[in-house]
């Protein structure tokens, strides 16, 4: 194997696969990156057996072949090179890194020991979406999930293609985010399909799609999902379980609707959080005059504060307690100037929505006093 790569492309390629590196003491080969030249292309591959990432690197292939070396030392050397043009050459199972004024040899391992990257059993079924649109939507929805070994079926992001639209949803049982993508933004060869992307895969997918251009193609079978981008390919297992039937949790109607300036609400929450203590709870009060929303927080060892925000109200005065972090997350996923908070009672889910972003919904559970 022999190829020539520019330093920036080398570092970019290693950065793309770095998070897929494994750290198993029983299988030390997982700490390696596989470097492969084939049919005029250069590939970097890494896997931790949960996900596998393959990055295509621009460069000149002189000789086809394969070698695998520890990523840590390869990355460290690459970042500190002082020239742009880098030659990579395999000899005797080792990797030589050669520039105009530098040469190093990294001890390699038998490439046959590197895990075989799995392939999907189906090739004809896929969903296609613009990668910028997907990345933006995925980031907004991902905020509502968190990692859990106890409940893996909600430890991830739910995708469902049905009736000419794609649904992206996530929940950690305390809040829920859902975004509906119309058929003119996402097309699929499936009539109906659904899957749960594991939390760590979703986290890595969000990182890999940042700044990418073109389309994202999503393929999956019963056990795996594959994400195909212009230069990057990631394959992962999918969660073996059923995503909760969450539609019933989204309030169809609300007795009280508060229209408020989103950025002022965000600023008020940040101020109120300073006095919320370890419980993270704040009390939202709509007074008798119905003109203001009050955010009240207090802690015996810190003090207390109250922030008043002008509102437009449909409904009656009330008081309700929220986890301020969950409430703040819901405000952040919108971009509209004003948002509407719909509330039914202090012990039922509240919904945050926007007239300008009706395809997006965020539901948050209050804290029972």
pLDDT digits (tens, 9 = 90+) for 321-364: 999 999 999 999 999 999 999 999 999 999 999 999 999 999 99
CA distance 343 to 363: 10
Residue 369 has pLDDT above 80, yes or no: no
The β-bridge partners of 32 are 70
Name the nearest CA neighbour of 90 among 60, 116, 110: 110
CA distance 318 to 17: 51
CB of 256 closer than 8 Å to CB of 286: yes
Q: Which CATH class is domain 126-247?
A: alpha beta
pLDDT digits (tens, 9 = 90+) for 7-65: 999 999 999 999 999 988 789 999 999 999 999 999 999 999 999 999 999 999 999 99
> Would you call 327 exposed, middle or buried from its count of C-beta atoms within 10 A (0-12, 13-18, 19+)?
buried
CATH tag for 250-364 (out of 3.30.1490.20, 2.60.120.260, 3.10.150.10, 3.20.20.70): 3.10.150.10
The β-bridge partners of 36 are 43, 66
Two domains, one topology: 2-113 and 126-247: yes
How many CA atoms within 13 Å lie on the side-chain side of 113? Answer: 15
Tell me, what's the pLDDT at 23?
86
CA distance 74 to 20: 15
Count the neighbouring beta carbons within 10 Å of the beta carbon of residue 313: 18
- State the pTM of this model: 0.91
pLDDT digits (tens, 9 = 90+) for 157-205: 999 997 678 999 999 999 999 999 988 899 888 888 999 999 999 999 9
Tell me, what's the pLDDT at 278?
80
Tell me, what's the pLDDT at 262?
97
Residue 119 has pLDDT above 70, yes or no: yes
pLDDT digits (tens, 9 = 90+) for 270-298: 998 888 878 889 999 998 788 999 999 98
Provide the residue ranges of all domains of the chain, joining segments of one domain with +. 2-113, 126-247, 250-364
What's the rounded mean pLDDT across residues 77-89?
A: 96
Q: Which CATH class is domain 2-113?
A: alpha beta
pLDDT band at 250 (very low <50, low <70, confident <90, very high): very high
């Amino acid at each position: 194997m022999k190829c020539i790569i520019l330093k920036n492309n080398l570092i970019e390629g290693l950065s793309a696969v770095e998070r897929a590196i494994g750290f198993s003491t029983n299988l030390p080969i997982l700490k390696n990156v596989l470097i492969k030249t084939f049919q005029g292309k250069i590939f970097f591959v890494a896997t931790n057996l949960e996900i596998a990432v393959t990055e295509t690197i621009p460069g000149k292939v002189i000789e086809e072949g394969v070698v695998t070396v520890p990523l840590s030392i390869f990355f460290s050397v690459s970042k500190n090179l002082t020239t742009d043009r880098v030659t990579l050459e395999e000899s005797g199972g080792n990797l030589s890194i050669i520039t105009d004024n530098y040469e190093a040899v990294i001890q390699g391992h038998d490439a046959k020991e590197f895990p075989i990257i799995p392939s999907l059993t189906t090739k004809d079924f896929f969903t296609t979406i613009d990668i910028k649109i997907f990345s933006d939507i995925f980031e907004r929805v991902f905020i509502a999930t968190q990692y859990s070994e106890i409940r893996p079926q909600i430890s991830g992001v739910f995708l469902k293609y049905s009736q000419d639209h794609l649904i992206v949803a996530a929940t950690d049982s305390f809040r829920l985010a859902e975004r509906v993508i119309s058929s003119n933004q996402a097309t699929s060869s499936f009539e109906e399909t659904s899957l749960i992307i594991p939390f760590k895969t979703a986290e890595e997918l969000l990182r890999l799609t940042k700044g990418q251009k073109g389309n994202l193609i999503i393929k999956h079978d019963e056990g795996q999902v594959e994400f195909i981008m212009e230069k990057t390919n990631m394959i992962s297992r999918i969660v073996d379980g059923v995503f909760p039937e969450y539609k019933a949790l989204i309030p169809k109607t609300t007795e009280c609707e508060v229209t408020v300036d989103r950025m002022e609400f965000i600023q008020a929450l940040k101020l109120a959080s300073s006095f919320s203590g370890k419980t993270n709870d704040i009390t939202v009060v709509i007074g008798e005059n119905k003109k203001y929303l009050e955010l009240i927080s207090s802690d015996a060892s810190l003090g207390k504060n109250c922030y008043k925000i002008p509102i437009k109200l449909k409904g009656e005065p009330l008081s309700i307690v929220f986890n301020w972090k969950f409430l703040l997350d819901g405000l952040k996923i919108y971009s509209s100037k004003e948002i509407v908070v719909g509330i039914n009672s202090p012990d039922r889910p509240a919904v945050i929505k926007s007239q300008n972003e009706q395809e997006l919904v965020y539901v948050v559970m209050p804290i029972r006093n």
